[in-house]
Structure 1
Amino acid sequence: MNKPVRIATRESRLAVWQAHCVQQKLEAAGISTEIVFIKSDGDINLTTPLYELGVQGIFTRSLDLALLNDQADIAVHSFKDVPTQPAKGLHVAAVLKRGNHQDALVIRKENDTEDPASMKVIATSSIRRKAQWLYRYPGTVIENIRGNVNTRLQKLNSSHWNAAIFAAAGLERLELFSDETGPQVLLDWMIPAPAQGAIAVVCRSGDEKMQEFCSILHHEETFVCTQAEREFLRFLQGGCSTPISAFAFIDGGKIHFRGNVTATDGSDRIDISFDADADDRTVSKKAADEMIGQGFKKLISL
């Protein structure tokens, strides 16, 4: 009897949802599985803003070690948390079909307005969201908020803040709708983090059996788009402390790419946009070169 595939995941509700999603797809294909729970550094330190921690892979490092130490066979991540340069010996084996890529504003239940322009205090730990919000609504006070989705919702509704920003995909996957969280507003003007809304599955580089299993999960169009976004981030040498945004989608045989960098204080921004054939793998390099040519390095020093 074959041993079950050991699926490593963090313990948050959203991480477990993602792991169960992978588990269900594998078991539907007749592959036995089990879940292995691993604590991550990002779950342990819930007070320091993410951009101040100054490390990549804060939510993936512990799961990487579990794979490398043969405590698990595959690990499931929010793809936006995965460093653009995977740990040595590991390989992104599958990217699932993308969910909602947008950010959403969740308004405190007892707040007296649903108009974002009139809000005085917004909570987020993301420097990207902070920068884009301040560019659109200068003068807003931005408060740090950490923790998993449910913890952040609890903090919001026991606070004096007007609202907090979340990834829409997380709210949808946990079925946290407006009647439970407070009013939700999709921020369709906010460009997301590279690969936001996508789930990635990682395995050991030489494990051909796991790579074969993971091919069942793979969605090539999502991979192409998220790869372009992540390559853009890599070419700009950005990490969690750089407010880089990117989104790509394929339509009519073309890949449509948007990138953005905003000064951390919201004082300035650079936007770029490229359309290319869907099989053009140079779009992210062209976008990054254009961003650098328009003053990217000067902007991020503001």
Structure 2
Amino acid sequence: MSRTIRIGTRDSELALWQATTVQNALEKTGHKTELVPVKSTGDLNLDQPLYEMGITGIFTKTLDVAMIKGEVDIAVHSMKDVPTALPKGIVEGAVMKRANTKDILIHKGLDFLDSESGTIATGSLRRKAQWLHRHPGHKVVDLRGNVNTRMQKLEASDWNGAIFAAAGLERIDIKPHNFIDLDWMIPAPAQGAMLIVAMEEDNHCRKALAGLHHRNSGIEVHVERQFLRKLEGGCTAPIGALARIHKDELHFKGALFSLDGKQKIEVERSVSIDQIEDFGISCAEHILENGGKELMTHIKSILNN
């Protein structure tokens, strides 16, 4: 009897969509599968900002434990939620073809954009810092929950708008008409990408997942996560990064912001695809050498108090 691959996933609508997409892809290649939904700590606690909960791995830890205990065989994640250092024994199995990388603003009218006052909701330090960098007079309030919950909270509020990842809303077909693309906002590293992880020793699952890997998406997110890991040093910070491959060249844009958005340190570079080995690291070093080291120290001192 052929082995059934147990697919671990969060139980939100978006997470289940992602897991089902992986399930369908595996079954097309002849594998038997089963979905195993679980709740993460990040889903259960909606009252506390993510950075206060120790954001690194908050949405992935429960599934990591389930894999290590042998309760599931693989796990499907929004890659931007995955820590840059995976737990011992767990490896990347495949990066699926990347979706829309943009952040979007769901709004109740855009007149406030020309005003010095306005209220925007987001649970992301990165989005908050970039919004305040562009609109320093506005107020940014915390917004938590899965995408459906956040949409409902926005509708019931007196906020002018809220920021979402376009990919999540598009995947479950709830992207409304009242949105604008935030083309100026640098996305989270690996935004729009889905990662499937497996146990390092599980050759059966690793071989099954290898056929789902999208090469260019894998290269792009690898560079972005290199950049993040070098800057972060285990600390949450307002960091944006986007790598894009065009023909034989990779173009990269990344930035580190202060928590209040007043300070921005940016890098923008291109490199040949055959010279990207430590490219993300070198871009991060440029940030660190141009005030980023001091800014990261300041951010850590605020968040750790």
CA distance in 1, matches of 2:20, 2:103: 23
Residue pair 1:249, 1:257 contacting (<8 A) in 2 also: yes
Structure 1 segment 190-201 matched on structure 2, within 5 A: 190-201=185-196
* Aligned partner of 1:296 among 292, 295, 299: 292
CA deviation after TM superposition for structure 1 residue 239, in Å: 5.2
Match of 2:283 in 1: 287
Q: Secondary structure at the match of 1:294?
A: helix
Q: Secondary structure at the match of 1:178?
A: coil
The alignment's TM-score, normalised by the length of structure 2, stands at 0.94
Match of 1:265 in 2: 260
Q: What fraction of aligned residue pairs are identical, expressed as a percent?
A: 46
Structure 1 segment 149-298 matched on structure 2, within 5 A: 149-179=147-177, 183-238=178-233, 241-280=236-275, 281-298=277-294
Paired amino acid for 1:116 = L
CA deviation after TM superposition for structure 1 residue 139, in Å: 1.3
Q: Secondary structure at the match of 1:94?
A: strand
Q: Provide, for residues 21-63 of structure 1, a one-character-per-residue CA deviation record: whole Å limited to 9, x for no partner.
A: 1001011111111100111010011111111212410000000
CA deviation after TM superposition for structure 1 residue 268, in Å: 1.3
CA deviation after TM superposition for structure 1 residue 115, in Å: 5.4
1:121 aligns with 2:119: yes
Q: Provide, for residues 62-118 of structure 1, a one-character-per-residue CA deviation record: whole Å limited to 9, x for no partner.
A: 0001100110110000001111000111001100000001101011xxx34355343
Q: Secondary structure at the match of 2:274?
A: coil
CA distance in 2, matches of 1:211, 1:234: 24
Matched positions, count = 296
CA deviation after TM superposition for structure 1 residue 236, in Å: 1.1
Q: Secondary structure at the match of 1:202?
A: strand
Match of 1:34 in 2: 34
CA deviation after TM superposition for structure 1 residue 238, in Å: 4.8
The alignment's TM-score, normalised by the length of structure 1, stands at 0.95
Match of 1:74 in 2: 74
Match of 1:102 in 2: 102
Residue pair 1:7, 1:73 contacting (<8 A) in 2 also: yes
Pair 1:238–1:156, CA change in 2 (3 A): farther
Q: Secondary structure at the match of 1:77?
A: strand
CA deviation after TM superposition for structure 1 residue 298, in Å: 2.2
Paired amino acid for 2:127 = R
Give the gaps of 5 or more residues in structure 1.
Answer: none
CA distance in 2, matches of 1:238, 1:184: 35
CA deviation after TM superposition for structure 1 residue 297, in Å: 2.3
CA deviation after TM superposition for structure 1 residue 299, in Å: 2.6
Residue pair 2:51, 2:236 contacting (<8 A) in 1 also: yes
1:56 aligns with 2:64: no
Over the aligned positions, Cα root-mean-square deviation in angstroms equals 1.3
Paired amino acid for 2:42 = G
Residue pair 1:94, 1:215 contacting (<8 A) in 2 also: yes
CA distance in 2, matches of 1:185, 1:94: 31
Residue pair 1:92, 1:201 contacting (<8 A) in 2 also: yes
CA distance in 1, matches of 2:87, 2:113: 40
CA distance in 2, matches of 1:56, 1:173: 24
Q: Secondary structure at the match of 2:36?
A: strand
Match of 2:134 in 1: 136
